Amino acid sequence: MNHSSAAFRNSIVAALGGFLFGFDTAVISGVEKSIQELWSLSHFAHGFTVASALIGTVIGSLIAGGPADRYGRKKVLQAIGLLYVVTSLVTAFTPSWLPFVIFRFLGGIGVGASSVVGPMYISEISPAHSRGRLVALFQFNVVSGILIAFISNYLLNGISEESWRWMLGVQAIPSLLFFSLVFLVPESPRWLMKQKREEETKIVLEEIGEKNITAEMDEIRTSLHGEGTIKENLFSGKYNKPIFYAVMLAIFNQFSGINAVMYYAPRIFEMTGLAKDTALLQAISIGATNLIFTMLAISLIDTFGRRTLLIVGSFGMVLFLGLVAYAFYTGKFGGYMVMLYLVGFIASFAFSQGAVIWVFISEIFPNKVRSQGQTLGSFTHWIMAALVSWTFPIFAESSAMGGAYAFTLFSGMMLLHLFFAWKVLPETKGQSLEGIQRSLGIH
């Protein structure tokens, strides 16, 4: 196996955690209405049930960094795979609401941990010249999982009176595959170096195609200097720039409304007058668009850079979210016009925020605090996701204008995001992880 294929193989296996992340995120869209009716849930309880997995992701993103530093990225990825297997089966077979919520929460812990450790591992296992594309594989797999979940929901809808159980249970198959394949990839070279396992570090760096092994090892060793005796504090003051960039990017990511659309796509389409079966089918168009434009972004992210993609995508998100809001204000849904607007929004999001966020957060923090920084970025992302997803059904159905107000808010936030990407964020393409640290003035 040549160097580039080895780096790709390792990255794609780790990114399978992203596939499960995406599948778990989107599968609830085909389930949420059935469980609301089955267990007679109020709007508040319904929102909480849907958001329970996201509450788990908040916890998972907070706790994953410590074990990843202590036991290694690889062992934590294995544990995540096992958690996915168990929770998908239990939620599929549970007879009552409480175990469902508990195991959706536990599955969310796996999603949150995956969002920290997956991109972290890929960024540390990838050569600098291809790191953007390889870390973006994580997001590619996230959107692949979303698309497959939408397709699976559509195909399984109506096969029995409890089709929703099949929708949830089928996730056990890719979960088991991920758990098995993680045993075949090497440990992160930067984690190995941190453990003073220099010979193993050298072997992994050779395998992934680093061109100057000695210089790379020296650079990693220097960046880790002193970490073994004193735990670096992320909030010491010198990391304020990467903290600010990561937190704001994560906040804007969720205030685009992306998870509201992904979790409630069939319901949004039903609000415009489409039948349930048609609404499930239209959700597939969102998943397919997400996948296509993520692939486009992956092919361009190391050429045009992270910041350029964010700026271009912001224009599209402001426009299409504004058009959705206008349709809800006027009540003129025009057949499939809202679907076309949402597809335009998804294309813009996938090309920019969707592809960039995990790449940027995984590379902006120095080696000493990368796990802490990745944890902070993921925690912020998921706490905002839980907030938006919990409140959206309450907000959207509170009045006839609820949908209009929600999408107006999302459009306005993306206007602010455009300014943030244009005037504030730095560019990180083509730099080593240690080089990014120097460019931010962190020594």
pLDDT in tens, 317-335: 999 999 999 998 888 776 6
pLDDT digits (tens, 9 = 90+) for 280-289: 777 788 889 9
Greatest Cα pair distance in the chain: 66
> Average pLDDT, whole number, for the chain?
85
Amino acid at residue number 31: V
Cα 313 to Cα 318: distance, rounded to the nearest angstrom:
9
- The answer to whether 137 and 12 have CB atoms below 8 angstroms apart is yes
Sketch out the chain's domains with CATH numbers: 3-439 (1.20.1250.20)
pLDDT at 243: 94
How far, rounded to the nearest angstrom, does the alpha carbon of residue 227 sit from its chain's CA centroid? 29
The Cβ-side half-sphere exposure at 141, using a 13 Å CA radius, reads 26
Q: Which of 86-95, 244-253, 365-374 has the lowest mean pLDDT?
A: 365-374
pLDDT at 1: 45
pLDDT at 80: 93
Cα 38 to Cα 22: distance, rounded to the nearest angstrom:
25
Q: What is the mean pLDDT of residues 155-170?
A: 87
Confidence category of residue 122, pLDDT binned at 50, 70, 90: confident
Angle ∠(192,117,350) on CA atoms, nearest 5: 135
Confidence category of residue 3, pLDDT binned at 50, 70, 90: low
Cα 115 to Cα 22: distance, rounded to the nearest angstrom:
10
pLDDT at 4: 61
Confidence category of residue 430, pLDDT binned at 50, 70, 90: confident
Cα 321 to Cα 343: distance, rounded to the nearest angstrom:
10
Residues contacting residue 238 through CB under 8 Å, at least 6 positions apart: 442
Cα 426 to Cα 419: distance, rounded to the nearest angstrom:
13
Crossing angle (nearest 10°) for helices 43-63 and 370-396: 180
pLDDT at 227: 54
Q: What is the mean pLDDT of residues 59-87?
A: 90
**CA dist list (Å): 412 to 307, 322, 351:** 20, 8, 19
Confidence category of residue 229, pLDDT binned at 50, 70, 90: very low
Residues contacting residue 358 through CB under 8 Å, at least 6 positions apart: 115, 118, 119, 135, 136, 138, 139
User: Residue 131 pLDDT more than 80?
Assistant: no
pLDDT digits (tens, 9 = 90+) for 382-402: 888 888 887 887 777 666 677
pLDDT at 196: 85
54-68, 148-162, 261-275, 305-319 — which one is most confidently predicted on average? 305-319
Q: Which residue has the higher pLDDT, 180 or 194?
A: 180
User: Taking Cα atoms as reference points, which of 127, 151, 391 lies closest to residue 254?
Assistant: 391
Cα 339 to Cα 280: distance, rounded to the nearest angstrom:
12
pLDDT digits (tens, 9 = 90+) for 259-318: 888 777 777 877 777 666 677 777 788 889 989 998 899 889 888 989 999 999 999 999
User: Taking Cα atoms as reference points, which of 20, 37, 15, 17 lies closest to residue 276?
Assistant: 37
User: Residue 2 pLDDT more than 60?
Assistant: no
How far, rounded to the nearest angstrom, does the alpha carbon of residue 66 sit from its chain's CA centroid? 20
User: Taking Cα atoms as reference points, which of 418, 374, 403 lies closest to residue 138?
Assistant: 374
